[in-house]
Structure 1
Amino acid sequence: MFDWLQHFADWLIYSVFSIEQHTKFGDALNFFVFDTLKIALLLFVITTVMGIVNSYFPVDKVRNFLSRNKLYGLEYLFASAFGVITPFCSCSSVPLFIGFVKGGIPLGITFTYLITAPLVNEVAIAIFLGAFGFKITAIYVISGIVLGVIGGFTLGKLKLEKELSPWVQNIIANAQTEDELEEDRLTLVQRFPAILKEAFGIVKGVSLYIIIGIAIGGLMHGFLPTGFFEQYINKGQWYAVPLAVIIGVPMYSNAAGVIPVVQVLVAKGVPLGTAIAFMMGVIGLSLPEAMLLKKVMNLKMIAIYFGTIAFFMILSGYLFNIIL
């Protein structure tokens, strides 16, 4: 989908700026340009689409439907399944998180999507099948969905809505005010300028966080060698799994980038559960994601979110080591 952006980044860095390919600086700068443009574009497109949906679709009915306890927890499973079919990394899924929150979807269900989307998608499934076979892939997919459901449910029970940033609460308040005013029916052409303006405002509001977050990810991507982490998680100590998650968080990558690394780690003797816990930390939690979330949550909420998900990732790693 984003091959043209990658080609542009390659052309800009390696041809226009004449930076040598396959160097640490070149790879880091290429990563920064590509991911910054990709996430900004995704944010604008998704926010625009969500603006159109919010403008026409009865989100309040969806909110009321999901808020009632008639689905007996299946709403979390639906959100997790939706995360599986959307090929977003941890940073790319943040724009949808903003749209869901703005639309009034319960926070726990929104968190379920945010957890599952980067962990399990068609890219991860395809690469996992090629690297580890059907059995391990099936276990990983099921565990990723369960992790999203349990994590979202747990976070939802903590009632963290008050920990959303004033910026997001203002967006929600304005959206609710607009709903209550029941403006005259307008055509899409008439509504579109306001929708685009709002989308541009959201992109502008988080642009600094995007730049800082991706810059951190680019530095990690280009300058930290895999062997640096490998030497600390290839042993059998009890703390190998939590350590794998902790050192995986600063390394920002998607499933396509980290699964081959996991395959190498396993080939070199790292237990599969430990390697998968490392992978979950890389693609499910990241410093760039934290920087983006800082715009929509306060530090307490980010800490609770990261801590809760890290705990379940560690638990998954131990379980993988036991059953595989």
Structure 2
Amino acid sequence: MFAWFSIFADWFVYDILALSNQTQLGQAVHFFVEDTTKIFALLIVMIYAIGWLRASLDVERVRGYLAGKPKVVGYGLGAGFGAITPFCSCSSIPVFLGFTSAGIPIGITMAFLLTSPLINEVAILLLFSLLGFKVTLIYAVTGIAIGVLGGALLDLLKAERWLQPLAAKAYAMGQVASEQQADGNTAAARNANPEKDRKVTWQQRHQFAKSETSEIFGRVWKWVIIGVSLGAALHGFVPAGWLEANLGDGQWWSVPAAVMMGIPLYANATGVIPVLESLLIQGVPLGTTLAFCMSTVAASFPEFIMLKQVMQWRLLALIFSILLLSFTLMGWVLNMV
């Protein structure tokens, strides 16, 4: 399906704009057109689909599934769901609101959001076919561990106090619902809100999802353009082979340097796998390569620009620091062993 976006970008950039695919400008514009159209399409589809599901979100059922389980299990479940659910930065806001409105602890929500961009089943299968079991296992275990440990730390720091008003309101309402369930007041809550007992029709789902799509897309589209523009500039104007030439010796500084280089770029877990393979073939150490690819996927500008709509800068800076520290430590350890 994604091939259509590349075909459209080829036609628009190389035929309509008459730019050459051999020039840096042509490559940068192609990257911008392809990724912007792809992200916009995914953004609209994902917000609508998640809104359609959220129209009848059963808070008690979600809470009941997690009730009574130790938080460590909850973090594992959140990270595990993230690993098998192919969400990316374009769906981060509706997913976050869906979790918070269900009253799920912020740490479990963040375990999901930290893991989901890093790992999906397509990326795992592709990575296994290209590089074998060992690298695939290291990548998957590292991604899940970052989600679990990051979620636990954010819960410990009570990160919900740094949510934007929209997300804070959804979280507070979810917490109230979960407390009512724990106190045995679910029936009273339903009586106070008889609309909840009615079956949600397809038309009602459509109207709710349409409203969600319009509101959220209207807030984030310009930030998508800014984020992809930064990635396109670096994609088109960083000389080919420069990264391999400067990070191939495994010096201690190469890992944090690779992490910082990956931040402005944008790719999903599936798209970054060929880059990972290329870097390893060119002699870049495994730890440096994984640090670069993970920062490209999970610490990208589009991801954080979108999450700014539901998180305050303090929380974003904390998540950003957790990711950078995790990727750097992981890279150093892998390079040493």
Q: TM tier, shorter chain?
A: 0.7 to 0.9
TM-score (norm 2): 0.84
Superposed CA offset, 1:221-245 (max 9, x none):
2222353333442233322222221
Match of 2:182 in 1: none
Tell me, yes or no, if the aligned pair for 1:233 and 1:270 is still in contact at 8 Å: yes
Superposed CA offset, 1:8-61 (max 9, x none):
233222233333234322222222223223323323322223323222231244
DSSP 3-state at the match of 1:118: coil
Match of 1:78 in 2: 77
Residue type of the alignment partner of 1:10:
D
Match of 1:101 in 2: 100
Tell me, yes or no, if the aligned pair for 1:47 and 1:99 is still in contact at 8 Å: no
Superposed CA offset, 1:119-174 (max 9, x none):
12233223322332112212221222222211222222221112112343356678
Tell me, yes or no, if the aligned pair for 1:42 and 1:95 is still in contact at 8 Å: no
1:90 is displaced (CA, Å) by 4.0
Q: Structure 2 CA distance, aligned partners of 1:28 and 1:187?
A: 45
1:99 is displaced (CA, Å) by 3.2
Residue 42 to residue 134, structure 1, CA distance change in 2 (3 Å): same
Tell me, yes or no, if the aligned pair for 1:90 and 1:117 is still in contact at 8 Å: no
State yes or no: 1:233 paired with 2:247. yes
Residue 70 to residue 258, structure 1, CA distance change in 2 (3 Å): closer
Residue 293 to residue 35, structure 1, CA distance change in 2 (3 Å): same
Residue type of the alignment partner of 2:214:
F
1:156-305 paired onto structure 2 within 5 Å: 156-169=155-168, 181-183=193-195, 185=198, 186-305=200-319
- State the aligned residue count: 322
Match of 1:25 in 2: 25
Match of 1:116 in 2: 115
Mean Cα deviation higher: 52-61 or 276-285: 52-61
Residue 153 to residue 313, structure 1, CA distance change in 2 (3 Å): same
Tell me, yes or no, if the aligned pair for 1:20 and 1:26 is still in contact at 8 Å: yes
Q: Structure 1 CA distance, aligned partners of 2:293 and 2:109?
A: 22
1:307 is displaced (CA, Å) by 0.3
Query: Percent same amino acid among aligned pairs?
Result: 42
State yes or no: 1:149 paired with 2:148. yes
DSSP 3-state at the match of 1:38: helix
Mean Cα deviation higher: 217-226 or 84-93: 84-93
CA RMSD of aligned residues (A): 2.8
DSSP 3-state at the match of 1:56: coil
DSSP 3-state at the match of 2:250: coil
Residue 237 to residue 191, structure 1, CA distance change in 2 (3 Å): closer
State yes or no: 1:137 paired with 2:125. no
Tell me, yes or no, if the aligned pair for 1:209 and 1:295 is still in contact at 8 Å: no
1:285 is displaced (CA, Å) by 1.0
Residue 264 to residue 189, structure 1, CA distance change in 2 (3 Å): closer
Q: Structure 2 CA distance, aligned partners of 1:148 and 1:224?
A: 31
Residue 135 to residue 189, structure 1, CA distance change in 2 (3 Å): same
Uncovered stretches (5+) of structure 1, i.e. residues with no partner: none
Mean Cα deviation higher: 43-52 or 170-179: 170-179
